[in-house]
Structure formats: structure tokens, C-alpha cells
Amino acid sequence: MKFIVGVDLGGTYIKAGSVSKDGDILYQTSVPSMGEVGPEAVVNQIAKAVETIKQNHKGEEILGVGIGSPGMVDLDGGTVKYPPNLANWKVFRLGEEVGKKVGTRVEVENDANAAAVGELRFGAGKGMKNFIMITLGTGVGGGFIVDGKVFRGESGGAGEIGHTTINYDGPLCGCGNHGCVEAYVGQKHLSRRVAEQLKSHPDSLINKLIAGDPEKLEPMIISQASDQGDAYAIQVWKEAGMYIGTAVAASFNLFDVATVIIGGGVAKAGKPLFDSIEATIRERVLSPLKPRVKVLQAKLANSAGIIGAAALIAE
Amino acid sequence: MKFIVGVDLGGTYIKAGSVSKDGDILYQTSVPSMGEVGPEAVVNQIAKAVETIKQNHKGEEILGVGIGSPGMVDLDGGTVKYPPNLANWKVFRLGEEVGKKVGTRVEVENDANAAAVGELRFGAGKGMKNFIMITLGTGVGGGFIVDGKVFRGESGGAGEIGHTTINYDGPLCGCGNHGCVEAYVGQKHLSRRVAEQLKSHPDSLINKLIAGDPEKLEPMIISQASDQGDAYAIQVWKEAGMYIGTAVAASFNLFDVATVIIGGGVAKAGKPLFDSIEATIRERVLSPLKPRVKVLQAKLANSAGIIGAAALIAE
């Protein structure tokens, strides 16, 4: 038996697991990231998780360790630059350092790119050569697959669709720019806007679900309401789909790509969100692209981080 | 002596010229496109122009014919699809048909991509591996150079930066979408907006230059006024630079590219426009890209179409 280790490096936790060559999770574990201490501490935590997994596969062959990391990733030495949510970390050769500890092949990619590779190898993008993967969560992540490979750009930072301006005069984004699509549909931005609008929608089921506490508002609550047919909640997803679809259409025009795969927690909103994204793209994209437009739900769901990271080795 | 023929296929005229291997124009001619008759007539006109040029280079060797064409171009057979401004043209193997007539190697590219290749071989992009070329004219054309080659996408249609939405609720664009950057700074859109705003700027020099006739308003006039220090005209370019810079910043984030080369008639506005584009990009682009941002003026200017087309053969 052979297995791959996939490591999903987050700001708080490291989720790691063994994955079969077919993309099935065999065993899973998690440890604190300890990012506040510094990159060396993170390396130790990753090595610890890998060790735990190896203990569960005695006598089996490890093919390598794939790591999905926040921040810009340089393939040379698996260098991670300025990852958000990991303090005391500027530029660090993560792949090389983890390699020294675990004694096996290590590949590092940006987490959004890793998610895209996961969908390409094992998920909704299987057999495709060109697509955009969007992860809708705290932020709006993007990984672009061009000609069967991650499109990395000059220094590995490509695919930042979350920071596509959809309104030059729009709300302030965490990146410092105004009107990025993330400033409309990133988890906190979306929740804050809905909390404000709720005052004008006293009949919405959302009010009941949060029991009057706007702090409790999160995309999952809005989805619960829309699933039960709440008109305002459905309208929220329709609007969010318009924002997302506008950014996707611009990317389609720039890359001459016509498939988008959508994952992440916010994507659980399902049909009202996806229908609006698809309608918006079809309306806004240049005419030669219209007949090719495809909007797909990501398949790897909860374990996308681990499986995507493992896919870096499967490649 | 060896020479290349560059053909700039426009809606009204075909401009063609012989170009040296170093990118210098040797001889130039032009014939009507006859696009209203159909693609076969266009082929005949191109062949006629090539023949005239050959007559001027008797005893010399022709290396090939490069054609910059409007519309989407498929490299296979130099197929041109749905070119705007060329009536009765749907899908046509232009390269192959011209090749039969002229009996030499023929390469066809989209005109914006050809302009980018021209700057790459002979102009402001010489020696660079990654940049975006924007042509500011009737429309806003884009050609993306990634890793030293034209980035073509799935079907040769990539690089359509003119149709990046910068305001989802913005003015209607010729493409049917709302708020494309072209709907703000494409020649007619820009002139129309200025004509409207002029009423509130009775002291602007532009009023004098157009002698009260808004039909006379064109970017050249606004440039004349800004060159003479007209405050409103300078403000127009500052605003246009903000629109263009917003779209460029989004492309920089998506492609992880940090150089833009700007050409086309509207680019003649010079410093007030370029300063605003550069300031906007620096303000809006993601922080890892900021120190790398470069905004350059295209070098090939008036003959960019011919030299860019010739560069397809020089490649």
C-alpha cells in the first residue's frame, strides 16, 4: 500500500491526512498551527502531524507530503511569502524545512491553487484542461487551471480573483483596495451587510434564526433561511451571485476560459446562489464565450484542503 | 536582403508594409479592406497589397506575411471568427486562403495580440517575459504576454481587458455588458461623457477648440487642451487613468504580472493620463505586486499594426 500525506495549513489549525492515490482520505488528524510562535514552530507541528499519520501506516510506503499554504508560494524550495493569519512569518522556505524533518518529497502550493489541483485530479474538474476554481469563505480564493496546470504567473501569486474590482467606488476590502468582490461576498462583509439590511426586513426568517443577535449572523444561517424559502435570504444569494458572476465573467474574458468550479463554506447556499452566478456570467461574458459557460459545484467539500494538498504529490 | 510583410487589417483600410528583421519599416502601402463584400474580397485586397510590396523588393527574399486581424483568431489555419467591423464574415480560414494567393508562410493573430508581440520583439517590451499590452483607441484592446509568448486561452480569445467590469452598475458597453472599462474610456464613450460634462465647464479650453460643436470632440482635442494646462482636460485624463488603472490592477492580481505597456491614439494624452494610471495601479494592486509595478508607453506608435503583424513572422 502507498499513501500521500496532504497538509492543510491554516491560521489556527493544521489539518493533515493520508490520502490514497485515488484521492480517498484514509486517516485524518489535526494539530494547532502555532503560527504566532513563528515558521519553525509551524514546521515542527507539521512534522508531528506527519509522524502521527506514518504511525498509522506502518509498513506502507509514503509517496510524499503535499502542503497547501496561505500566502504567495514560490515553487523553489516551497518558499511561502507573507501568509495572512500567520504572524512572525515573512519569507520562509517551508518545503525545504519540512523536507529535512520528514525525509520525503515535499511540495508546497498556495491553498487556493491546491484546491484547484484537487478538483482537477479528483473532483469536478477531472479530465478538464481549463477552469477557474473559486473558494468562497472568509476570503474569496482563486486557483486557475490553464492547459492542465496551475497558472502561477511571474512569482506564484496568480489567480487572485477575490481582489477583482467590481465597483471602483465600492466598500473597503481587507487588501486596502475598494470594491473587490471579496469586499462584497467575503464571509464577514456579507454578514455585516445582511445585518444592516435586516432592519428593513423584519419578517425575514433570519431574524428568528439569530434570535435578534447580529453577532450570530453567518452565511450558514442565511442558507438555512433560503432553504426554507425565505424571500429576503434568497434575494441575498441572488445579489451575492451577481457580484461573484461579475468577477468571474471578467476572468473568463481575460483568460478565455469558460468553466468555474465553486467551493468553500459559502457555496453551501446552493441553488439560489449558483443560478444567479450562472445567469450573471451568461449575461456579462463576451458573446463567443456564452455557449461554453459552465458553473460547477466543487466535489471535495470539507476535505478539499487535505485532498488538494495531496494532489500536489499525485501530479 | 530579406524582408517581412506586415498586414494591419482594419474595418476600412488594409495597411501593409515591408519590415526589416530589426523591425524597421522599409516601404508602406494601403488599400481598401472591402470587408463589406466578404472575406474573399479581403483576401484579394491583401494579396494585392503584398504584390505591390514585392514589386518594391525585386530580387530580395520575402520571409513571410504576418496579419493582425480584428476578432478571435484560431492559430489553426489562421481562422478569424466574427471580426467586428467586417461584415459578411463569420468564420473564415484567412491565413490559409492568403497563403494560397501569396505562396509564402502566413501567420495570423488578433490585432491586439499582434501589437503586444510587436512591443515584445521591437518595442517597449524587448527582453521582457511578462507584460500586458493595452491599446486605447475606439475600443480598449488587450494582448497578454506570459513567459515570452502570447497568452491565448482556450480558443485564442484571451486578453480582453477592455471588457473587465469596473462597475457592475456602470454604463452600457458595445458588448452588451455594463460598466466595462471600454464603456468609460473607449473613444466614443469618453468623448460623449466629456461633451456632457462640458456644459458645467464653460471656461475649459476644450469649448474653444471644438468651436461649440460637440461632434468635433475627440481625445486629440482633450489632449491639446491638457497640454496647454487646461484644468478640466487634465481632470478628464486623471479620471480616465483611474478607470484604466482599476482594470489593469485587477489583471495584475489575476495574472501576477506587473508591467503594462500602453499604446493607441488615446495614449497620446501622455503624462496626466499615465501618472494617473500608475498611481491607481499602485493604490489598488495587492501589496506583493506594488514594488514591481511598471507603466510604459508603447514604442511602435503609428506603425504598431504593421510592425506587430510582421513580428509574428520574426518570432
End-to-end CA distance of chain A: 18
The pLDDT value recorded for residue B13 is 94
What Rg, from alpha-carbon coordinates, does chain A have? 20
A55/chain B closest Cα distance in angstroms = 40
The pLDDT value recorded for residue B76 is 82
In what order do the strands lie in the sheet containing A294-297?
A149-150, A140-146, A131-136, A259-263, A294-297
The pLDDT value recorded for residue A315 is 63
Rounded CA gap, A75 and A312, in Å?
11
Enumerate the β-bridge partners of residue B259. B294
Q: State the cell numbers at B10.
A: 482594419
Best mutation target among B113, B242, B253, B289 (most A Cβ atoms within 10 Å) is: B253
Mean pLDDT of A176-194: 96
Within 8 A of A176 by CB-CB distance, chain B residues are 283, 287
Within 8 A of B158 by CB-CB distance, chain A residues are 254-256
The answer to whether B195 and B216 have CB atoms below 8 angstroms apart is: no
Mean pLDDT for all residues in chain A:
95
The answer to whether B66 and B12 have CB atoms below 8 angstroms apart is: no
Give Cβ neighbours of residue A185 (< 8 Å, ≥ 6 apart).
A136, A140, A240, A243, A244, A266
pLDDT of residue A75 exceeding 90, the answer is no
Rounded CA gap, A169 and B167, in Å?
8
Q: How confident is the model at residue B159 (pLDDT cuts 50, 70, 90)?
A: very high
Best mutation target among B185, B238, B244, B255 (most A Cβ atoms within 10 Å) is: B255
The pLDDT value recorded for residue B86 is 83
B248/chain A closest Cα distance in angstroms = 10
Third-level CATH fold of B2-120+303-314: Nucleotidyltransferase; domain 5 (3.30.420)
Residues constituting chain B: 315
| Percentage of chain B exceeding pLDDT 90 | 87
Instruction: Report the candidate in B78, B141, B151, B96 with the shortest Cα–Cα distance to residue B115.
Output: B141
**pTM score, whole prediction:** 0.94
Within 8 A of B169 by CB-CB distance, chain A residues are 167
Within 8 A of A285 by CB-CB distance, chain B residues are 177
Parallel, antiparallel, or unpaired for β A131-136 and A72-74?
unpaired
End-to-end CA distance of chain B: 18
The pLDDT value recorded for residue B169 is 97
Instruction: Report the candidate in A294, A157, A16, A56 with the shortest Cα–Cα distance to residue B286.
Output: A157
Mean pLDDT of A163-174: 97
Rounded CA gap, A144 and A258, in Å?
11
The pLDDT value recorded for residue B315 is 63
Map out the domains of chain A as residue ranges. 2-120+303-314, 128-298
Q: How confident is the model at residue A58 (pLDDT cuts 50, 70, 90)?
A: very high
The pLDDT value recorded for residue B230 is 98
Mean pLDDT for all residues in chain B:
95
pLDDT of residue A109 exceeding 70, the answer is yes
The DSSP code sequence of chain B is: -EEEEEEEE-SSEEEEEEE-TTS-EEEEEEEE--TTT-HHHHHHHHHHHHHHHHHTTTTSEEEEEEEEESSEEETGGGEEES-TT-TT-SEEEHHHHHHHHH-S-EEEEEHHHHHHHHHHHHSTTTT-S-EEEEEESSSEEEEEEETTEE--TTTS----GGG-BSBTT-PBPTTS-BSBTHHHHSHHHHHHHHHHHHTT-TT-HHHHHTTT-GGG--HHHHHHHHHTT-HHHHHHHHHHHHHHHHHHHHHHHHHT--EEEEESGGGGG-HHHHHHHHHHHHHHS-GGGGGG-EEEE-SSGGGHHHHHHHHHHH-
Q: State the cell numbers at A163.
A: 481582489
Mean pLDDT of B150-164: 94
pLDDT of residue A132 exceeding 70, the answer is yes
Rounded CA gap, B306 and B310, in Å?
6
Q: What is the pLDDT of residues B115-132, one digit of tens each?
A: 999 999 999 999 999 999
B284/chain A closest Cα distance in angstroms = 5
Whether B153 sits inside 8 A of A177 (CB atoms) is no
Q: What is the pLDDT of residues B233-278, one digit of tens each?
A: 999 999 999 999 999 999 999 999 999 999 998 999 999 999 999 9
| Percentage of chain B exceeding pLDDT 70 | 100
Q: How many CB pairs under 8 A join A and B?
A: 141
The answer to whether A131 and A259 have CB atoms below 8 angstroms apart is: yes
Q: What is the pLDDT of residues A17-26, one digit of tens each?
A: 999 999 999 9
pLDDT of residue A106 exceeding 70, the answer is yes
pLDDT of residue B194 exceeding 80, the answer is yes
Rounded CA gap, B61 and B124, in Å?
28
pLDDT of residue B96 exceeding 80, the answer is yes
Q: State the cell numbers at B67.
A: 496579419
CA distances to A81, A109, A298, A309, B70 from A156, rounded to whole Å, are: 10, 9, 23, 16, 32
Mean pLDDT of B194-214: 94
Say whether A128-298 and A2-120+303-314 share the same fold: yes
Q: How confident is the model at residue A212 (pLDDT cuts 50, 70, 90)?
A: confident
Whether B177 sits inside 8 A of A249 (CB atoms) is yes
The pLDDT value recorded for residue A100 is 97
In degrees and rounded to multiples of 5, residue A77 shows phi and psi of: 70, 10
What CATH class has A128-298? alpha beta
Rounded CA gap, A183 and B285, in Å?
15
Within 8 A of B241 by CB-CB distance, chain A residues are none
pLDDT of residue A85 exceeding 80, the answer is no
Q: How confident is the model at residue B58 (pLDDT cuts 50, 70, 90)?
A: very high
Q: State the cell numbers at B6.
A: 506586415
- CA closest to A151 among chain B residues: B255
Rounded CA gap, B110 and B185, in Å?
21
Give Cβ neighbours of residue B58 (< 8 Å, ≥ 6 apart).
none
Rounded CA gap, B250 and B303, in Å?
29
**What one-letter code names the amino acid at A98?**
V
Mean pLDDT of A241-245: 98
Q: State the cell numbers at B271.
A: 503624462
A158/chain B closest Cα distance in angstroms = 4
Considering only the beta carbons, identify the residue of A81, A175, A254 that sits closest to B254: A254
Q: What is the pLDDT of residues A268-307, one digit of tens each?
A: 999 999 999 999 999 999 998 999 999 999 999 778 899 9
∠ CA B154-B155-B161, nearest 5°, is 80
